Amino acid sequence: MKRRPLFAANWKMHKAPAQAADYVVQFWAAAEALVTKADIVLCAPFIDLETLRVELAPSRVRFGAQDCYWEASGAFTGEISAAMLAALGARYCIVGHSERRRLFGETDETVARKVAALLAVELTPIVCVGESLEEKQQGLTAARVTSQVQAGLGALSDEQRARVAIAYEPIWAIGTGLSDDPVTANATIAMIRGASGGLADARILYGGSMNADNAGSFCAQPEIDGGLVGGASLDPRGFLTLIMNGLKAAA
């Protein structure tokens, strides 16, 4: 069976609750027509999630977080657990984004713990992997991303792996306007899917300067199941156009 496309907005550290509410007003009715063909999720700062829960209540657009902690509760000042996200009605959570790995000490080991915690409460982890520019130049892309996938998903059963989404995001392409070549990204994603068992049904997204103009050429590739979108997701109309263009090309 063909995998259902997934388009995830990664708002990063943008939008206070009032702006999140305003976004949804402009987004959800038009997005509703697209939800028949794809899963759509807004991954927002924690303080926006309650607003998204309320504003998206009549909609099938989902909301998610950008990080979580693996323990369910306890003395972990400043943290939000996967279980708390589930209790709020979040359906997705980004894990292991390169910004968190680089700036906030995320490791392959913490990624694996978060993935397990999210699956245990029926959330879909969106696990980010990707190589640096130096690694790409040294021909180390395949080694880097397969080791990240293996570390993050290695302990999971095949049934659990099918419930995970992976975002292949070359670090040099994130926020730079320099997207990967779609054919090259497709080959890397095919390699990720083939290198670890149980990923035939898992959605694997491309991320890194995806926008309304290039989404079609990525989504036309057979291994690319949608996008994890940063800058181009911040404007509701722009994100809708991106999704529409992606779906048109994937059809």
Catalogue the active-site residues.
Answer: 97, 169
Q: CA 233 to CA 22: how far, in whole Å?
A: 14
Quick note: the x/- pattern for ligand PGA over 9-28, rule CB under 6 A, is: -x------------------
Least distance between ligand PGA and beta carbon 129 (Å): 12
CB proximity list for 56: less than 8 A, separation 6 or greater: 24, 28, 42, 62, 63
Range 81-119 burial, b when 16+ CB lie within 10 A, else e: bbbbbbeeebebbbbbbbbbbeeeebebebbbbbbbbbb
Of 51, 200, 50, 29, nearest to 40 by C-alpha is 29
**Of the candidate residues 130, 152, 207, 236, the single one contacting ligand PGA (CB under 6 A):** 207
Quick note: the x/- pattern for ligand PGA over 116-155, rule CB under 6 A, is: ----------------------------------------
Q: CA 167 to CA 169: how far, in whole Å?
A: 6
**Assigned token pair, 213:** 């103009």
**Of the candidate residues 42, 202, 229, 244, the single one contacting ligand PGA (CB under 6 A):** 229
Does the protein bind ligand PGA through residue 226 (CB under 6 A)?
no
Does the protein bind ligand PGA through residue 175 (CB under 6 A)?
yes
For helices 141-153 and 108-120, give the axis angle rounded to 10 degrees.
40
CB of 48 or CB of 169, closer to ligand PGA? 169
Least distance between ligand PGA and beta carbon 120 (Å): 25
Does the protein bind ligand PGA through residue 169 (CB under 6 A)?
yes
Q: How far is CA 231 from the centre of its chain?
A: 14
Does the protein bind ligand PGA through residue 188 (CB under 6 A)?
no
Does the protein bind ligand PGA through residue 215 (CB under 6 A)?
no
CB of 83 or CB of 170, closer to ligand PGA? 170
How many CB atoms are closer than 10 A to CB 29?
11
| Residues at the site binding ligand PGA, with contacts judged by CB under 6 A | 10, 169, 174-175, 207-210, 228-232
